[in-house]
Every structure is written in C-alpha cells, then in structure tokens.
Amino acid sequence: MELHRPPTEFERKVFDALHLIPRGKVTTYSQLGKYINCRSPRAIGQALKRNPFAPETPCHRVVSADLKIGGFGGQRDGEPIDRKRRLLEGEGVTFAPDGSIAPECYYSFDE
DNA sequence: CACCTGACATAAT
DNA sequence: AATTATGCCAGGT
C-alpha cells in the first residue's frame, strides 16, 4: 500500500507551502489548506504523510488546529510523534505542559 | 465529551 | 473507468 509514484500537483503545492513555514514555528492543516485553496485538512494530512523528503520538507511543522502536536508518519501517537516533538523543540518550538504548542510559535500564511 | 458530518485526494477493488 | 474506502483533520451537534 505504499506509493511509488512521482508527486502529484496537489502534493507539490503542499510541499511547496511547507517551505514557507519559518523555523521555530508551526501552522495547521487548515491554514496550509487555505493557502493552496483546499478545504480538506485530511487531504493535506495524506499528502504530508507521504512526504518523500522529510524532514528537509518540514512536514513536522504542521500541527492540528487545536495546536496539539498532530500526527507524524501516519500515526497520532507513539515513537514518530516523539521524534516530531523533538524536531520541533530542536527548532525552538516550545510546548505547554499539556503538550500543546505555545501560541507565539503559531504561523499563519497571510502574515 | 462522544459522535456525526463535511471536504477532497489517493488507494484499493 | 467507476465506485468504495480511508486518511498526521475541523467544526458542529
């Protein structure tokens, strides 16, 4: 069930948008979706999980709308999530005690 | 808080 | 080619 195909146009848009997220900041699936004119955050997530260039293409800088860590590598908890958290922390993103991202680390595309 | 529904690309059949 | 199922969600009920 893995894909061995070149990236689609949709995926290119998603990956391209990822590079606009500054280091130490995160955005949400919805925000990213708005930027590329897609109203389905789930579609975004699907593209991200298939990101063949992680973490050069920073799919780890995308979190869920409630500013929780979101998913990584197709999982919503476990080892991959742990790595995602460390990646973000390494970039300067700070986490609240409940595991949510500090609001000042949030990045909106229309800034 | 636990569903239900909406939106949409891709995989599978 | 067409239909169904699934998914690093979000928002409403």
* DSSP secondary structure of A46-103: HHHHT-TTTTTS-GGGEE-TTSS---BTTBSSSHHHHHHHHHHHHTT--B-TTSPBPG
Find the Å distance, CA of residue A42 to C1' of nucleotide C13. Answer: 21
**pLDDT tens, residue by residue, A43-58:** 999 999 998 777 789 9
Which amino acid does the sequence have at A32? L
Q: Is the CB of A58 under 7 A from strand C?
A: no
- pTM equals 0.92
**pLDDT tens, residue by residue, A66-93:** 999 999 999 999 999 999 999 999 999 9
Domain ranges of chain A: 9-105
Provide the pLDDT for residue A54: 74
pLDDT-derived band at A37 (thresholds 50, 70, 90) equals very high
**pLDDT tens, residue by residue, A10-35:** 999 999 999 999 999 999 999 999 99
Lookup: nucleotide whose C1' is closest to A12 CA = B9
Q: Is the CB of A1 under 7 A from strand B?
A: yes
A9-105: CATH, from 1.10.10.10, 3.40.50.450, 1.10.1760.20, 3.40.30.10: 1.10.10.10
Find the Å distance, CA of residue A39 to C1' of nucleotide B3. Answer: 22
Q: Is the CB of A41 under 7 A from strand C?
A: yes
Please list the active-site residues of A: 59
Provide the pLDDT for residue A1: 57
Find the Å distance, CA of residue A1 to C1' of nucleotide C7. Answer: 13
